[in-house]
Structure 1
């Protein structure tokens, strides 16, 4: 996942790179957009973003999570996600 710098309003955008596709082993890039609490407001900000898998699927995934920094200073994003694919009814 590659994201832009956090905007003043907490918004961000970027690209999600994955090899988990039906198309085989090549990496696919899909657009993402999201928002995060400002780090100045809370020590461990929460965030959410969506990924539209437009390059290989008619699906969208919504992620929600929280940012953490461990004792060694390593940043980690802990998330839960929900994938939804379009269906006829």
Structure 2
């Protein structure tokens, strides 16, 4: 599931950086979902430049979700 969350965040990063039409329903869904998933990290760092800000705001939670999922999975398989 964490990989799906990370995929949504990465998709939004690409859509934002490629200047997708935010009026589009699909783009709007990805934006809403990414904002919800990354709510805790948006604005964590304040940097100059839109590209770097988007990468930090949405990339950090994507990495965190995947890292936590991998740690939990490795511990679950270690017990088995």
TM-score, length of structure 1 as denominator length: 0.26
TM-score, length of structure 2 as denominator length: 0.27
Larger relative CO (CA 8 A, sep 6+): 1 or 2?
Answer: 2
Structure richer in helix, relative to its length: 2
